[in-house]
Amino acid sequence: MHAYFVMMSKNSRIICLFLLLACASMSARAQGQPYLCEFGLQGGCGYYTGEATPHIFMNPREAFGLQFRYKFTKRWAIQAKLSSQRITGNEYYFETGKMPVKLDTKWQNQLINADVMAEFNFFRFGEFNKYDKRIKPYTPYIFLGIGVGLYGAEGYTNAKYNKAAAYLPFGIGFKWKFHEQAGLNIAWQHNLYFADNLENREDLNNRHDLNGSNIMNCDLTGMVTLGIVFEFARAKKGCRICNF
């Protein structure tokens, strides 16, 4: 092969080298073609804020779920998530005209949440691309959407998921792509429910009779999770020799 290459004319050798370089460039560009979809698992801790727990991160409990993400652009994506979290807090003794007395016993409730959220990346986030330095393998992001939760309510202490309520999911996060088809996501999500009965305790539900008139009287849950995602469904190239 080497002898044959030497015997070739100068122009022929130049053409062969040009074709080899073009093929290598096309191969590198094809490898950088982005993936459109992600599927992943997440886990962490969750908490509840309401009548029985006035501050965030009090009585944290486990939270976990599944997530799917579709990326429209380097900046915008949509995420669908199915998650579960356990919330808990102290029980109180209420007496007319006196301050509530916190008891040593606790209540707890299990929630199942399904939501869809729009995401905005602060950086151009995507595949490893040595030709475009604007594209980063990491980015902070924000998200906002709509969801529905199932939980036990109305004082039926042994009932589960007999009540449904809509909520607004929103929060901040950070994405890091450590492999061509894998990455990590850290998210702090808040769920503002259009309900005030997540405690599953009649004496804690809507004590001030403000439901429907004051959205800030509604219950709030939160989750801090770490997730691992795997990418699939590579985008089609716009042309055979271009990387878009």
Q: What is the span of the domain harbouring residue 8?
A: 1-31
Judgement on whether residues 52 and 117 belong to the same structural domain of the protein: yes
244 is a domain residue: no
Q: pLDDT tens digit string along 177-207?
A: 999 899 999 999 999 999 888 887 776 766 6
Judgement on whether residues 67 and 148 belong to the same structural domain of the protein: yes
Given a contact cutoff of 8 angstroms between Cβ atoms, the answer to whether 79 and 37 are in contact is: no
119 is a domain residue: yes
Judgement on whether residues 61 and 160 belong to the same structural domain of the protein: yes
Judgement on whether residues 22 and 40 belong to the same structural domain of the protein: no
Judgement on whether residues 56 and 143 belong to the same structural domain of the protein: yes
242 is a domain residue: no
Question: CA angle, corner 122, sides to 82 and 73, nearest 5?
Answer: 70
Sort 110 into a burial class: Cβ within 10 Å, 0-12 / 13-18 / 19+: middle
Judgement on whether residues 142 and 165 belong to the same structural domain of the protein: yes
140 is a domain residue: yes
> Phi, psi at residue 45, to the nearest 5°?
-125, 150
Q: pLDDT tens digit string along 32-87?
A: 578 999 999 999 999 998 877 778 888 899 999 999 999 999 999 999 999 999 99
93 is a domain residue: yes
243 is a domain residue: no
Judgement on whether residues 135 and 203 belong to the same structural domain of the protein: yes
Q: Provide the pLDDT for residue 162.
A: 85
Q: How far apart are CA 119 and CA 117, in angstroms?
A: 6
Judgement on whether residues 13 and 97 belong to the same structural domain of the protein: no
Judgement on whether residues 165 and 44 belong to the same structural domain of the protein: yes
> Would you say the pTM of this structure is higher than 0.85?
no
Give residue 132's Cα distance to chain centre.
26
Give residue 149's Cα distance to chain centre.
16
> Whole-number mean pLDDT of the chain?
81
**Hey, is 75 helix, strand or coil?**
coil
Judgement on whether residues 143 and 55 belong to the same structural domain of the protein: yes
Judgement on whether residues 43 and 6 belong to the same structural domain of the protein: no
122 is a domain residue: yes
Q: pLDDT tens digit string along 2-35?
A: 444 445 555 565 655 555 554 444 444 444 578 9
Question: Which CATH number characterizes residue 130's domain?
Answer: 2.40.160.20
**Hey, is 109 helix, strand or coil?**
strand
**Hey, is 42 helix, strand or coil?**
strand
241 is a domain residue: no
Judgement on whether residues 25 and 107 belong to the same structural domain of the protein: no
Domain count, the chain: 2
Confidence of residue 106 (pLDDT cuts 50, 70, 90): confident
